[in-house]
Amino acid sequence: MGHTGQKERLKARDPLYALRHSTAHVMAQAVRRLYPQAKLAIGPPIEDGFYYDLQVPVQLTDEDLPKIEAEMAKIIREDHRFVQSFMTKAEALAHFRTHGEAFKVDILQGLPEGKISLYTDGDFVDLCEGPHVESTGRIKAMKLLSVAGAYWRGDERNPQLQRIYGTAYESREELDAHLKRLEEAKRRDHRRLGRELELFSFEELAGPGVVFYHPKGALIRSLIESYLRDTHLARGYDLVATPHVFRTDVWKQSGHLEHYRDYMFLFEADEQAFGLKPMNCPGHILIYRSKLRSYRDLPIRFFEFGTVYRNEKSGVMHGLLRVRGFTQDDAHIFLREDQLVGELGAILEFAFDVLRTFGFTAYDLELSTRPAQHIGSPEAWAHAEGALRQALEARGLRYDVHEGAGAFYGPKIDLAIRDALGRRWQCGTIQCDFALPERFDLAYTGEDGRPHRPIMIHRALLGSFERFLGMLLEHYAGALPVWLSPVQIVVVPIADAAIAYARQAAGVLCARGLRVQVDERNEKMQAKIRDAQLAQVPYMAVVGAREAAANSVAVRHRRQGDVGVMGVDAFATKVQQEDADRSSGIDLSVGGAA
């Protein structure tokens, strides 16, 4: 606990940080040898690897990576020591200006006066604070993965650079296992699965970052919504719905116009300024303050499937994971101070229950504290941060601290899930807010008859439906559990003579509340079974004259194959039970959901 800053947190949890950092230097050194005019930007370790941003006089492609790897191998064999040295800021600026390293100069200009750390290996010198391994010969297993574009400091108004991604491990066996996981991740890519399973699409005519749900995808989303609606109502939440468009007066009062303008879609109508909502919280605030509230009413829990719109840059959008229009399972809770820690704990338990239902049992927790740009008093922030810590520690939960990464209105707990491949996905968030109730002058009448200020919790369990669906598809490799499968059973008649009985069996299954299709195509039975498996349908019920005579079905599972012959009613009960239990019923291991 208590690691500060993104780089420090990665150092703390990644034993390969120094190795990957050193490999990034060697990669930049190799590029410089091959292209002496190349200019260096930044090259940090990241989760499972590293990258380096460079300005290279030629356009690199993935086909150039073997050549760069070969040069890296030479540098590794030369076994140069990584040696740290120091300069004053003025000396460092002079050094990098002399060598024409404009990006390093830009970095230096933002640093305070004092000692500047550099690392040298052989003929290569880089602005760097470390750490590194002892020498380049210490690098045993590395691989370059891809080339992408990147703007300097992430700003499209700045020069475009080329970003080379790679990874490094202590042994070739570990590297090979990682490369196998990457291949499996490609096979599970939700964009491919969404297209092949006919779940969703992005339409060029409509513009980037907006999702079109096809019938099966819309049904999956509806099933998720139904489950969430029922569980929220059972836990004392009230369902609300708010507009998509507000006058900018609301966003000005909330602070979004000041702190979030670059991500908002703003326009004018009837000589007034409006904005599409980037968040749901102001709408819930306006509902709260529409009438007088008593201390007896609290906590008030407003819940909404709230669709929001954010003007994401075109370069960062990625399938369902980063879009411009998305829907959140958003809730805002208004409560008294004496209720705060208990409510935070209840939300954590709620989040864990929901994620377990979807098959996620491994997760990371992170507490983000007050950022430089914020609203509200330091005292209120300290109070809110203390309540979040208390809720976490009362349950013995381990968490990291991300200093300065809270929302502008309050600190937060972020929950990241681990999928079947061990990858980390940001998911739910719980934010404690003393500032917006102040800005909107929210109040409740206390037991003493006087007005008091409520505290506000912002909370999402899944986050964005779009992002969560993308994660879910990759977690299950498209083979969603029975309760989330848009088609649960395909009835396959062996021949045309069995179609009438196939329809009859399907009718019984449908009457039991199951989602069933009959494959009446003029295709061979094996082709129909194969197509159902490719469509990730959990069960196939094969029927012919023998099954018709016995009022039964020959059951096949998409992974396990032949399950055996069952009576139609018994089969319906089996699938109903699996549906009701919301169990996954499949192997999530690598390669287990091919």
Q: Active-site residues: which are they?
A: 281, 310, 328, 330, 332, 412, 458
DSSP 137: G
Distance, in Å, from the CA atom of 536 to the CA atom of 518, rounded to the nearest integer, reads: 15
Nearest to 286 by CA among 237, 257, 260, 250: 250
124-127 vs 115-121, strand pairing mode:
antiparallel
240-274 as b/e, with b when 16 or more CB fall inside 10 Å?
bebeeebebebbeebbbbebbeeebeeeeeeeeeb
200-201 vs 325-335, strand pairing mode:
unpaired
Sign of the torsion angle spanned by Cα atoms 176, 182, 185, 191: negative
Q: Which residues lie below 8 Å from residue 281, measured CB to CB, with a gap of 6+?
A: 254, 330, 332, 433, 436, 456, 458
Task: Identify whether the C-beta of residue 457 lies closer than 8 Å to the C-beta of residue 431.
Answer: yes
Distance, in Å, from the CA atom of 349 to the CA atom of 343, rounded to the nearest integer, reads: 10
Output the furthest CA–CA distance in the chain (Å, rounded).
91
Half-sphere exposure of 267 (CA within 13 A, CB side): 8
Sign of the torsion angle spanned by Cα atoms 9, 13, 14, 18: positive
Using only C-alpha atoms, the chain has a radius of gyration, in whole angstroms, of 28
Task: Identify whether the C-beta of residue 218 lies closer than 8 Å to the C-beta of residue 245.
Answer: no
